[in-house]
Amino acid sequence: MRTDPRHPSPTPLTAVRNLGVLAHVDAGKTTVTERILYLTGAVHKRGEVHDGTTVTDFDAQERDRGITIFAAAVSCVWDGHRVNLIDTPGHVDFSDEVTRSLRVLDGAVAVFDAVAGVEPQSEAVWREADRHGVPRIAFVNKMDRAGADLDAAVASIRERLAVVPLVVQLPIGREDGFTGVVDLLRMRALVWGEGRDGYEEAPVPEELRDEAARRRALLEEAVAELHPAALEEFCARSALRADTLAAALRDLTRDGGGVVVLCGAAYRDRGVEPLLEAVVAYLPSPRDVPPVRGAWGGAVEERAADPAAPFAALAFKVQSTATGRLTYLRVYSGTLRKGDSVLDAGGRRTERIGRILRVQADRHAETEQAVAGDIVAVVGLRSARAGTTLCAPRAPLVLEPPGAAEPVVSVAVEARRAPDAERLAVALARLAEEDPSLVVRSHPETGQTLLSGMGELHLEVAVEKVRRAHGLEVAVGRPRVSYRETVVRGVSGLVYRHVKQDGGAGQFAHVVLDVEPLEVPPGSTGGFAFRSVVTGGRVPQEFVRAVEAGCRDALAEGPLGGHPVTGLRVTLTDGATHSKDSSETAFRAAGRFGLREALRSAGLALLEPVAQVTVTVPDDAVGGVLGDLAARRGRVTGSTARAGTTVVAATVPLAELFGYATRLRGRTQGRGTFTARPSGLAPVPAGVSDRLLAR
């Protein structure tokens, strides 16, 4: 049970829903979130993305650009249920924000465009939700648009996401004439009118009764095939009662057996109330999800969502504000009170909770405590980062943190005025603290400060944030992608002897190495494998581990251009030791220098990051766009015609996509759009590789 300061009656855990809104950019998820807040009374005026007045897109850059950049948490009440909701970004450059949010959510609403169906980033976030085991329901939005087609959108969900869509509504009217839906569970019509809040319930229109009955039968058959209890009733009655159907849909949603699909037009306030009803009916509460698993001292422990259990929470977001440093927490077990001392389990240090805040995007309401199942922000933590576990000092536990994506694009940044250099370093460090997918490092040769991230827009937003938040004038170099080197022709039997004698104890290590390419799936970022086949104890096991560590040291810079090396297997085949001078330090040095020498003798190739690009263009501009993609070394993998436009799918080197948005707008008179998502590494063609290495 918990008490909310604005709603004093306690809310049981079974009446809590922690969910995210997921979608491709421009599918309408922020508008869906805004309408949910309006309908639940959390806000008293509808905000619009195009006006920059939405609650969750509160950052100045989000309002300027008209897209969601930062995950924003809000809370509302619907039908006696507390709904904690996170509006996530839809642009691929900010997918790490989505990943961190999914780590702490119990359910999600996936929003799809009724015209476009499943788009590339929709598919990417869906797969990420699969990986985290987050149950979802689907909302097909923009049913009032020209070309909107629920059946086509559902078909794309079935084909591209490989799930069973369970459509529980039939639209009333098409495109601009979309006025409502038929609820197939209760066989009733829900109709919305212009300028009127809420829907009116009515009988199913005469002209849709046969189609509604047919679709209800298809829904019952699909559910009966997936749910044993529903199958038993279906076999006995040749039909399913509404309560049986609802219970089966809830079970299938929570175990991933099927996906409930609803439809609407959020901008025109149509379809949002049934969506909220579905959230409450089908998505799980904190009580319904498995206990969280953690470890301490080698032992694995589970913690259920129980306010009386020992406290455990995961920090998933850090934000600097004018009022202090906020750390966003998902409380998994126990109770957290203002003034409590908690253990940072990773850093093994104690922190004190200054304040606990209920978050409404950029507004906060202070509360005295948070319990299992809550998503809150706290003030007072100095060292916690995204992924930090906070727990009761007497019951330590480390929860699995969300993974951080590897940056693929870098820019050089420097202060325009020399006195600002130190301030810039502090600002960049704070930026990387808030966003783990940003990495700040110094170039080993030039000494330049490099900022690395997930894409051109990601870095552009980060630099602009430094300028606005800290008032710094920053010079930015041209973006550069992160190349890799890999082995294409191995070398066998390379002998390396590390001998060093400077007085006193010396260093001696003798190793024999084989280096060969490592077979990895297409598009993978490669990897590194090490093994030892030395027999007879010629190299003790502790020295074998030192050789592996030395080899890993050597991977940092390859001989072609100083790029990291990946995609290779190293085998230690033989070696020798000295009774006095051999040590782990000596064998680590032998592994490092030996592998460097082996790489100089092996055949290496340059790898570059590539992206899956989806370009949507008018039919009359397809030829020019295809030619431009070819000039950018793009490889077209498919195209689809769709209502006067063509959707082209291609694989393009990431380095060739800088500035592509401007070029595409010019070739299509502003009518073309594209999305790109990283898809691994690919070999650089020989001629291009020579030019890159000659720079």
What are the distances in angstroms from CA 19 to CA 72, 73, 154, 387?
12, 10, 22, 19
User: Comparing C-alpha atoms, which of 444, 376, 438, 375 is closest to residue 410?
Assistant: 438
Q: Are 68 and 87 in contact (CB under 8 A)?
A: yes
Question: 168: which 2 tokens?
Answer: 């529980």
Q: How far, in Å, CA of 534 to CA of 557, rounded?
A: 27
Per the annotation, does 90 bind a ligand? yes
Question: 55: which 2 tokens?
Answer: 């609650």
> Which amino acid is present at 361?
A
The DSSP secondary-structure symbol of 562 reads: S
Per the annotation, does 88 bind a ligand? yes
Per the annotation, does 24 bind a ligand? yes
Per the annotation, does 142 bind a ligand? yes
Q: How far, in Å, CA of 153 to CA of 79, rounded?
A: 30
Question: 62: which 2 tokens?
Answer: 């989000």
β-bridge mates for residue 385, sequence order: none
Per the annotation, does 187 bind a ligand? no
β-bridge mates for residue 640, sequence order: 647
Residue 197's CB: how many other CB atoms inside 10 A? Answer: 10
Which contiguous run of DSSP H or E holds residue 584? helix 584-601
Helix (H/G/I), strand (E/B), else coil: 677:
strand
Per the annotation, does 91 bind a ligand? yes
Q: How far, in Å, CA of 304 to CA of 285, rounded?
A: 12
Q: How far, in Å, CA of 606 to CA of 669, rounded?
A: 37
Q: How far, in Å, CA of 511 to CA of 575, rounded?
A: 4
Per the annotation, does 89 bind a ligand? yes
Q: How far, in Å, CA of 412 to CA of 18, rounded?
A: 39
Q: How far, in Å, CA of 319 to CA of 378, rounded?
A: 11
Q: What angle do CA 46, 47, 52 make, to 5 degrees?
A: 165
Per the annotation, does 25 bind a ligand? yes
User: Comparing C-alpha atoms, which of 111, 48, 418, 38 is closest to residue 279?
Assistant: 111
Per the annotation, does 144 bind a ligand? yes
User: Comparing C-alpha atoms, which of 93, 85, 106, 101 is closest to residue 30?
Assistant: 85
Helix (H/G/I), strand (E/B), else coil: 291:
coil
Per the annotation, does 141 bind a ligand? yes
Per the annotation, does 350 bind a ligand? no
Question: 103: which 2 tokens?
Answer: 């780590």
Helices marked H in 635-683: 660-667
Which contiguous run of DSSP H or E holds residue 121? helix 120-132
Q: What are phi and psi of 61, to 5 degrees?
A: -70, -35
Q: How far, in Å, CA of 47 to CA of 269, rounded?
A: 12
Q: Which residues are annotated as a binding site?
A: 23-30, 87-91, 141-144
Please give the annotated binding residues for GTP, written as ranges: 23-30, 87-91, 141-144
